[in-house]
Amino acid sequence: MQFRDLHAQYEALKPEIDAGIARVIDSTAFILGKPVGELEEKLAAYAGRKHCVCVANGTEALQLSLMAMDVGPGDAVFTSDFTYFASAGCASIIGATPVLVDIDLATFNMSPAALERAIKKTIADGKLRPRVIIPVDLFGLPADYPEIEKIAQKYGLAILEDAAQGFGGRIGGRIACSFGDMSATSFFPAKPLGCYGDGGAIFTDDACVDARLRSLRASGKSPEDKYDNREIGMNSRLDTLQAAILLPKLKAFAEYELDAVNRAAARYTAALKEKVVTPTVPDGCLSSWAQYTILLESREKRDAVQKALREKGIPTMVYYPRGLHQQAAYKAMALRDEDYPNTVEATRRVLSLPIHPYLKEDEQDGVINSLLEVLA
């Protein structure tokens, strides 16, 4: 069994994917060819945003978004402590300062109460200008935007949604990549919507921001004259081949994959909820299940369960073994475990089970039965 079986998806979509790749090779428009524009339109429509700009990866989608907000040295960017490094690294790399926020253990997402405490402390310290909140839709579940929006408004901060794991998630009628002022997602192969290499996208409703992003992803060129650069940008474009691969994948995602992965998650939860802490999906929310993550009672138990499952041929992962406040890159900030109790707790107890839209019911049962045996 594979943790995320990308080959099963390829088998299902092979004719369309192969034909798309062949058309790109035939056209030789390898960079920003027609399929990229077509994908941008379809992604914007899916998310209900006015504009989408495809870029080279999710990390640069976040970085370019901050650049388009003119964030830089002296600015504070608030993000979750329990996430992939890029959620904070995108701020550091442009000279801004990430301010890490503890999570809610039930959802693994940024705690709105901890966020407000971090903002107040930053204001009281008086060293940084609070500018942007980057909530992360961890494991596929949208962050608590209704609460985070109130806080953003109260303190005059922008919101940049890190939807790298969140594509397809919902809160009521609102969908991931539509929350906040801007949203960034990733098409890394194992994400809910993945390509066959690196890729990412940025979403905005603002036509000026859209135009600025199109310039920033092409070294800051001016729209009129590509050899006249109006500002310092990056080379961060999505390959046409990746767009051609993503077009049929987006269709499958919308038509049936999101439903299929939710059926798998529901079967896991029904079978496991009496024995372990299963993921919480708050009322009215939908997860796209980038990960299905349970909590065991301790680090020792988690490590033992992972080892026993491995021996039964069931692959699992620990997302994440460290909080960002514990990363060597942030050692100079001298952040303390006692300020991040829920992150620390999560790093000790989490275990992610195999999940993807093509995981068959008998494979799901294999995971469930193996885990129940190991626990008993």
Ligand X SMILES: *Cc1c(COP(=O)(O)O)cnc(C)c1O
| Residue 58 or 323 having the CB closest to ligand X | 58
User: In the stretch 154-173, what mask flags binding to ligand X with x, by CB under 6 A?
Assistant: --------x-xx--------
| Residue 59 or 287 having the CB closest to ligand X | 59
53 near 40, Cβ under 8 Å? yes
For the stretch 273-283, what's the b/e string if a residue is b when 16 or more beta carbons lie within 10 angstroms of its beta carbon?
eeebbbbebee
What tokens were used for 206?
A: 């603002």
| Residue 86 or 286 having the CB closest to ligand X | 86
Q: Least distance in Å: CB of 44 to ligand X?
A: 19
Q: What are phi and psi of 176, to 5 degrees?
A: -55, 150
Which residues lie closer than 8 Å to 291 by C-beta, 6 or more apart?
139, 140, 165, 317, 319, 352, 355
Return the range that interacts with ligand X (CB under 6 A); candidates 79-87, 201-209, 223-231, 271-279: 79-87
State yes or no: residue 83 binds ligand X (CB under 6 A). yes
| Residue 193 or 276 having the CB closest to ligand X | 193
Residue type, 312: K
How many residues are present in the chain?
A: 376
User: In the stretch 261-300, what mask flags binding to ligand X with x, by CB under 6 A?
Assistant: ----------------------------------------
Considering only residues 30 to 59 of the shown chain, the ones binding ligand X according to CB under 6 A are: 57-59
What tokens were used for 124?
A: 């009281």
| Residue 59 or 215 having the CB closest to ligand X | 59
Task: State the DSSP string of 281-346.
Answer: --TTEE---S-EEEE-SSHHHHHHHHHHHHHTT---B-S-SS-GGG-GGGGGG---GGG-HHHHHH
Q: Least distance in Å: CB of 36 to ligand X?
A: 16
User: Count residues contacting ligand X (CB under 6 A)?
Assistant: 15
| Residue 84 or 253 having the CB closest to ligand X | 84
State yes or no: residue 136 binds ligand X (CB under 6 A). yes
State yes or no: residue 84 binds ligand X (CB under 6 A). yes
Q: Least distance in Å: CB of 61 to ligand X?
A: 7
Which residues lie closer than 8 Å to 189 by C-beta, 6 or more apart?
6, 195, 196, 197
346 near 302, Cβ under 8 Å? no
Phi-psi region of 140 (alpha: psi -120 to 50; beta: other; left: phi over 0): left
User: In the stretch 180-219, what mask flags binding to ligand X with x, by CB under 6 A?
Assistant: ------x-x---------x-x-------------------
What SS3 class is residue 63? helix
Strand-pair category, 75-80 with 129-134: parallel
| Residue 268 or 319 having the CB closest to ligand X | 319
Return the range that interacts with ligand X (CB under 6 A); candidates 3-11, 81-89, 242-250, 268-276: 81-89
| Residue 144 or 198 having the CB closest to ligand X | 198
The residues binding ligand X (CB under 6 A) are 57-59, 83-84, 86-87, 136, 162, 164-165, 186, 188, 198, 200
